[in-house]
Structure 1
Amino acid sequence: MSSSTSLPTINTGFSLKLNDDQSLPSSARIALLDKPLAKLNKGQVLVKMLASPVNPSDLVYLLGKYGLAPNNGAYVGFEGCGIVLDANAGLYGKWLIGKRVAVSAQPGIDGVWAKYAITKANFCLPVRPSLSDEQAATIIVNPCTSVCLVDRAIALKAKAIVINAAASQVGKGVIRYAKMLGIKTIATVRSESNVEVLTKLGADCVLLTTNDDFSEKLRLACKEFKATVLLDSVAAEDTPNLLKAMPNNATAIVYGRLTETFDPVGGLFSVADVIFRNIKIEGFWLAKYIGDAKPWQVISLSRKVQKLFEQGIFQTDIYASVNFDDFPAALDYYAKHKSDGKVILKPNA
């Protein structure tokens, strides 16, 4: 470990402020808070945060509806980028000290919307100098998820993929990566303005969910492209509705829930489809994937994603980079305009 005399003892960040009133904006669910920095447990590192984005999963967590139990008073934020200042994590931890890394928050403790973050060493991925702090801060949750989802679809022998809420950063990443690999994509969106955007991006078919003939067009597109995998970030009614248009033996991979519902479970599926059409439903959570993976698997995934950034295959859309003062208003904007790009918190700016 490095000398503790030069290390900070107090942290500042946005903590969770739980409230049962679901109508409150996201900014009313956070509070800027100073508190002492915890000591590093075995396997952990201390990171000075440079940038941290807002993701849809952060918004769901603020509502108390994420898969992790909300931790009132804990700092929020699932990913970011920073410099490793200290480590209590063996040789790998020592090697990380001084390096700029992409960071994933350790479940159950403080998140990374703060000046400093503590997390597991294997949740830190060294990033290449060619990536800006803003781009490096976004390489874990969305790009890694995009790669894992497409790779899973390939393992399921899919020739084409259906993606709902496809204007999201994960959706755009899936479209770019799948196109590079020769996998067809059928994108569904709610806003007409995103149809042209995703078509230019390389989606083979973009369908507007508000059209009266949406279901029939989706059925025909699935038949034409032989789409057998649904990448589902919406859940609730969207899962069975889209699967109904897909062929027998299709698989839905559910990796999020954007549906405005108070149901803490929030999932629906057609029992008849599961029984008689052999429809399958499985889940994907990147934190579990990283936690279960071997170090070399995580490093391999990181290298693949960063190479895709350098090649221009991946590029996170950034709406604004803000400091502590401007973050609450920017957070509320992102909650209403996710497809405009990420809001990035720069806590030490």
Structure 2
Amino acid sequence: MSQRPQQKMINLGYALNLADDANLPSSKRIKLREKPVPALKKGQVLIKMLAAPVNPSDLVYLLGKYGLAPNNGAYVGFEGVGIVIDANAGLYGKWLTGKRVAVSAQPGEDGLWAKYAITKANYCLPVRKSISDEQAATLIVNPCTSVCLVERAKQLGAKAIVINAAASQVGKGVIRYAKRHNIKTIATVRSQSNLEVLQQLGADKVLLTTDEKYSEQLANACQHYQASVLLDSVAAEDTPRVLKAMPNGSTAIVYGRLTETYHPLGGLFSVADVIFRDIKIEGFWLAKYMRDANPLQVFQLSRRVQSLFAQGIFHTDIYQTAGFEDFPAALDHYAQHKSDGKVILKPEQ
């Protein structure tokens, strides 16, 4: 049982500040707020946060359009790293106490952009000492998604995959991890500056979506590499556009939609492709994967990802670390320039 008088502790963090104006920047959708740390419920641990990144999913949540209902006034932030300082979670919680852990927020509860966080013990993954706080803070959402997406492509028998918005951290992770499994990658980007970056990273083909010959180039690349899986974080018009260039029987795995296209929320696909070309569309959400997986599967995924970090195969690009004072401006920069790298909140900075 928890012995710490948590009700006397005061937390400080950025809470959701819902707004109806769709044009407001992300920084106007959060508010620095103090509130007491509640007592631990059974199965929970208390964590002193060291670092927490901003992910595209956080930006979508700030708009009130994520898969979880917005909890106005609750702290925001889906992942991070910290030290477990108290636990009410049996032997596992006792073992975690004092350890540095990568952590996911407990759905429906306070998030992690704060000095302290409470979550379930099984949402905590002990982190190797060799991994820095900044890298450990980004260990769960993007790297685990990259691994799971490539593993699903393998299950579908893909020899090659198309990855859109490929300059994202998930996209870069997919390129690195797919290369280890001899799966070819066709990366699409919107910025000329990302072409050479992804080529050096090991993508087999990098295409600029604004090129006037893009559709022809994409069709040729899909035919050459026999790309049968699309890893789709753009959605909207891009899903049918890319699938049109791919062979019959291809599958789109949709795992996101670019924040700036979230008005209205939704996606598009070609009914004719689904009926006559046997095109399939499925979704992936890491939170559901981790919820449905057994503890051994989650532990094995964590070990695999940390090993890839240790080998330098996975590495998250960091644009800026910020304390509470500088965080709103850094948040707005990330919202407009995601490919620059992650913004990391460090409460003690």
TM-score range normalised by the length of the shorter chain: over 0.9
Alignment of 1:29-178 (within 5 A): 29-178=29-178
Cα distance in 2 between the residues matched to 1:81 and 1:341: 18
Q: After TM superposition, which residue ranges in structure 1, 4 or more long, deviate above 4 angstroms?
A: 5-8
Which ranges in structure 1 are unaligned for 5 or more consecutive residues? Answer: none
Q: 1:5 to 1:74 in 2, by over 3 A?
A: closer
User: How far 1:77 moved relative to its partner?
Assistant: 0.4
User: How far 1:42 moved relative to its partner?
Assistant: 1.7
User: How far 1:228 moved relative to its partner?
Assistant: 0.4
Instruction: Give the counterpart letter for 1:42 in structure 2.
Output: K
Corresponding residue for 2:343?
A: 343
User: How far 1:259 moved relative to its partner?
Assistant: 5.1
User: How far 1:261 moved relative to its partner?
Assistant: 3.3
Bigger shift: residues 254-263 or 236-245: 254-263
Question: Deviation per CA, 1:188-234, whole angstroms, max 9, x where unpaired?
Answer: 00000000000000000000000111111111101100100000001
Cα distance in 2 between the residues matched to 1:74 and 1:3: 25
What TM-score do you get using the length of structure 2 for normalisation? 0.98
Cα distance in 2 between the residues matched to 1:235 and 1:6: 43
Corresponding residue for 1:315?
A: 315
Matched-pair contact (CA < 8 Å) for 2:60–2:259: no
Which ranges in structure 2 are unaligned for 5 or more consecutive residues? Answer: none
Alignment of 1:249-288 (within 5 A): 249-258=249-258, 260-263=260-263, 265-288=265-288
Cα distance in 2 between the residues matched to 1:11 and 1:55: 22
Corresponding residue for 1:226?
A: 226
Matched-pair contact (CA < 8 Å) for 1:52–1:112: yes
Corresponding residue for 2:301?
A: 301
Matched-pair contact (CA < 8 Å) for 2:56–2:259: no
Matched-pair contact (CA < 8 Å) for 1:234–1:256: yes
Bigger shift: residues 119-128 or 251-260: 251-260
Q: SS at the partner of 2:14?
A: strand
Q: 1:343 to 1:274 in 2, by over 3 A?
A: same
Corresponding residue for 2:17?
A: 17
Cα distance in 1 between the residues matched to 2:32 and 2:246: 47
Corresponding residue for 2:210?
A: 210
Corresponding residue for 1:198?
A: 198
Cα RMSD of the aligned pairs, angstroms, is 1.2
Cα distance in 2 between the residues matched to 1:87 and 1:12: 20
Cα distance in 2 between the residues matched to 1:247 and 1:303: 35
Cα distance in 1 between the residues matched to 2:338 and 2:153: 25
Query: % of aligned pairs identical?
Result: 76
Matched-pair contact (CA < 8 Å) for 1:65–1:264: no
User: How far 1:263 moved relative to its partner?
Assistant: 4.2
Question: Deviation per CA, 1:100-121, whole angstroms, max 9, x where unpaired?
Answer: 0000111111100000111111
Matched-pair contact (CA < 8 Å) for 1:236–1:259: no
Cα distance in 2 between the residues matched to 1:86 and 1:242: 49
Q: SS at the partner of 2:110?
A: coil
Instruction: Give the counterpart letter for 1:94 in structure 2.
Output: K
Question: Deviation per CA, 1:298-334, whole angstroms, max 9, x where unpaired?
Answer: 0100000000001110000001111000100111111
Q: SS at the partner of 2:305?
A: helix
